[in-house]
Amino acid sequence: MNGDANRRTLLAALVLLALVALVMHYLAHPVFAPDKEHPGQTIFRGSFLAASLLPLLDLVVVTALFLSRRTAPLAFLINGVLVIYGTVLMGHFGLVKLAAIPPATSPWIFRSMLHDIALAWVDFLVGKALFESWMREA
């Protein structure tokens, strides 16, 4: 497979991972939710805004920056920062959630955020491979 075809495949994988992350975050943390006190009305939940903006940033900005060799280092940097932020935040909130659940109710691994954190690191590794494919072409 030549360099351009390889990059297109990696870019498609990066876009799909970011799109899945955006959908997962929106389903878990809806910015607009039905108001339980007033049926038929929707409320804005600003505390969930960052949970949707960060994957949107990954989807739009990181993808756009990875389209060019000149901007690929910046895309790699932003992608890495987003993965680190995601790991820290999901790890923290996952531990808080697990602390509230009695250990005997279900296996903790299925209720933890480890699978979400692993997905973020897969996104990073795909971005790393894409970055390296740009840098090999000198």
Q: How far apart (Å, rounded) are the C-alpha atoms in residues 85 and 52?
A: 13
**For the residues of 12-72, what is the DSSP string, one character each?**
HHHHHHHHHHHHHHHHHS-SEEE-SSSTT-EEE-GGGHHHHHHHHHIIIIIHHHTTSTTTH
Q: Is the pLDDT of residue 18 over 70?
A: yes
Q: How confident is the model at residue 13 (pLDDT cuts 50, 70, 90)?
A: very high
- pLDDT of 82 over the 80 cut: yes
Global pTM reads 0.86
pLDDT of residue 3: 76
Q: What is the arithmetic mean of pLDDT over 43-69?
A: 92
List the beta bridge partners of residue 13: none
Longest C-alpha distance within the chain, in Å?
A: 61
Contact between residue 58 and residue 18 where contact means Cβ atoms under 8 Å apart: yes
pLDDT band at residue 134 under the 50/70/90 scheme: very high
How large is the average pLDDT for residues 9-27?
94
CB 127 within 8 A of CB 80: yes
Region 61-87: mean pLDDT is 96
**Is the separation of the CB atoms in 79 and 56 below 8 Å?**
no
Q: What is the pLDDT of residue 12?
A: 97
pLDDT category at 98 given cuts 50, 70, 90 is confident
